[in-house]
Amino acid sequence: MRGSDFLQLDLADVPLGSRTEVLTARIRRSLTDGSLPVGVRLPATRVLAGELGCARGTVTEAYRRLTEVGLLTARAGAGTRVAARPAQPRGPVPAGAAGPRSYGTPSDEARPGSDGPDPIDLATGVPDLAAFPRAAWLRAEREVLTGATARDLGYAPPAGAPRLREELAAWLARSRSVAVDPEQIVVTGGVTGALSLLAQVLVADRHTTIGVENPGAHGNRRILEHWMPGLTPVPVDEEGLIVEAIGDDVHAVLVTPAHQYPTGVVLSPARRRELVDWARDGDHVVVEDDYDAEYRYDRRPVPALHPHAPDRIAHTSSLSKTLAPALRLGWLIPPPHWLERVVELRWATDLGSPALPQLTLAHLLRTGALERHLRLMRTRHRHRRDAAVEALHRALPGVAVGGIAAGLHLVVPLPADVDDVQVAADIRDLGVLVQPLSGHFLADARPGLVLSYAAQHPATLHAAIERLATAVPRG
């Protein structure tokens, strides 16, 4: 193994599976600190690979990742050059200049202003957004625009572009065992849009209370609280939602059966049967949030709940964990007797989602580009979860890591007498953002930390967890 004069790079001590990540991070850091100014030409991939004694594909992939996020540009005959510097951290908000209330995620609201470097964010539950398939998305957009008809550029049906609904129906059938006609799918503004529609239908039918998992996703709870007068907590244990604890006044319940958020458990087969029986016997509705079911690392994926009672289960998911939250694209399969009303509400809200992004997503589904991207992301996220778990066990010997090997986050329980909000604040002072588990409870809160690992390089995860371990009380 050799080294290079370029950035004084040396991969000799880097494990084979991490060389692309390390090389990408090292070049990005040089772009940030100005060591590589805009316009400078980088070594050819073959040359740099030869100097480092690594596979050419390692260098090619590092360049590709930085090109897809707009930091590098590659042209035939001109080589690879620096196109831009990474965005710099924002400074503090001036006194008296605070804007209106934030309606972002809990982690967005907790983000402090600072003149120093950005904290390491283990609070925001997003995939590795640096790996967003920009080139594939741009190719799909060009294909869509090249072939778009006058009808395509007009108003799409409020339920969504027919082409996307057809591709989604095929995708859901092969990936989640959800077999529905395209006409049963409503394209929404993410899961948030789906919950807003369903809540309005419930309230119109005089059902003013919905059951929510306790703990459950804080963001979903805020949306439902906006539309509905009452939310009832339903406890969760190691088998998922405790169905027998659903109150008699509850007509609908929101669940995350494939990977409960935030505990990470899976709804057991027995509980699934109980929940389906509850829905059928009492004319109730189950809202299934299938938010990150694509990511399972230790076993075969858990099928969706919807096929067990399609007339009583509303199934929803989105691209937020698959591609990026910024796309604001999701889908909802409401119970058939609610479909017409949901579509009418979608029309009355804003006539439906923008058509061109829908057609672009349809192209990615039709060509298999989305599935190829998911295969890449599963591998990347699995490595990052493994790194986070290894770092926790090293920094906090004997620590329990909650949930199954899946998704984009994990949970670290804390002793019952610990104030996890204060612990999270102490960790923030160390330059790391985490979520206190208690914030996801509607009642009977338990302390813990929710760590979202998917957006961080394994080396960054090790550094962050070493820091936060100094603030975590030992039981």
Q: What is the pLDDT of residue 369?
A: 92
pLDDT, position 2:
66
Residue with tokens 């990936």: 175
Q: Does residue 452 sit in helix, strand or coil? A: strand
How long is the chain?
475
Which residue is listed with tokens 């594909």? 57
What the block records as the tokens of 61 is 């992939």
Taking a C-beta distance cutoff of 8 angstroms, is the pair 212, 254 a contact? yes
Residue from 46, 325, 386 nearest 193 by CA:
325
Burial classification of residue 214, based on how many CB atoms lie within 10 Å of its CB (0-12 exposed, 13-18 middle, 19 or more buried): buried
CA count, 13 A, side-chain hemisphere, 131? 24
pLDDT for residue 98: 35
Domains observed in the chain: 6-82 (1.10.10.10), 106-125+372-469 (3.90.1150.10), 150-367 (3.40.640.10)
How far is CA 404 from each of CA 131, 342, 411, rounded to the nearest angstrom?
A: 24, 34, 10
pLDDT at 101: 39
Residue 368 corresponds to which tokens in the numbers above? 């298999």
Q: Which parts of the chain register pLDDT below 70?
A: 1-2, 87-117, 299, 475
Q: 375: which residues sit within 8 A by CB, 6+ positions away? A: none
CB atoms within 10 A of CB 275: 26
Summarize pLDDT for 6-51 with one digit per residue, the tens.
888 888 888 877 888 889 989 988 888 888 888 888 999 999 988 8
Q: Are 158 and 346 in contact (CB under 8 A)?
A: yes
**Sheet hosting strand 409-413, strand order edge to edge:** 409-413, 448-452, 435-436
| Rounded Cα distance, 338 and 343, in Å | 9
- Give the pLDDT confidence score for residue 87 in this predicted structure: 61
Tell me the two tokens of residue 261: 């958020």
